[in-house]
């Protein structure tokens, strides 16, 4: 796991936007972190990097929102999911194996149904605006993205 300290929200937004500009069809970004850590802020900036023009909001009550950028973005918030199998009701596999990129807030809740090919990003609160972002790729598919993403 590799980590980078970010001093303020602007730095967090910049790294998320950079990631959005680098992802490709089939990529799955899994966000974890405490309530209020900045997962939705990260997702909004990620969308900007993908070229999404719409206002991105947290899909807490709908579980998933679809946005169109240079590739489709499927934004999940699984905070209210009690059991991973509930994701079947929304056609989760069609999104994960679809034509876009998935960004999943609270991804650890559904970890058992996620493919191995995921980029895990943990956002840790270290101050009023500062965060530490730790990135892990268990499959090594995102090695180049991680290297470029963590360069300052």
Each domain of the chain, given as residue ranges in start order, spans 2-147
pLDDT at position 109 is: 96
Q: Contact at 8 Å (CB) between 81 and 87?
A: yes
User: For residue 120, is pLDDT > 90?
Assistant: yes
Question: What's the mean pLDDT when you consider all of the chain?
Answer: 93
CATH of 2-147, one of 1.10.1670.10, 3.40.50.300, 3.30.365.10, 3.40.640.10: 3.40.50.300
Mean local confidence (pLDDT), 78-85: 92
Q: Could you tell me the pTM of the whole model? A: 0.94
Longest dimension (CA), the chain: 41
């Amino acid at each position: 796991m590799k980590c980078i300290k970010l001093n303020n929200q602007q730095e967090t937004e910049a790294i998320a936007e950079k990631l959005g500009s680098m992802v490709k069809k089939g990529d799955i970004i899994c966000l974890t972190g405490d309530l209020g850590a900045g997962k939705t802020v990260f997702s909004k900036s990620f969308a900007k990097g993908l070229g999404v023009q719409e206002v991105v909001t947290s899909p807490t009550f709908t579980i998933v929102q679809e946005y169109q950028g240079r590739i489709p973005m499927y934004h999940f918030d699984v905070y209210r999911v009690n059991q991973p199998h509930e994701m079947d009701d929304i056609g989760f596999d069609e999104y994960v194996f679809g034509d876009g990129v998935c960004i999943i807030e609270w991804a650890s809740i559904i970890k058992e149904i996620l493919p191995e090919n995921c980029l895990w990003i943990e956002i840790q609160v270290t101050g009023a605006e500062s965060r530490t972002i730790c990135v892990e790729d268990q499959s090594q598919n995102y090695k180049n993205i991680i290297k470029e993403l963590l360069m300052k």
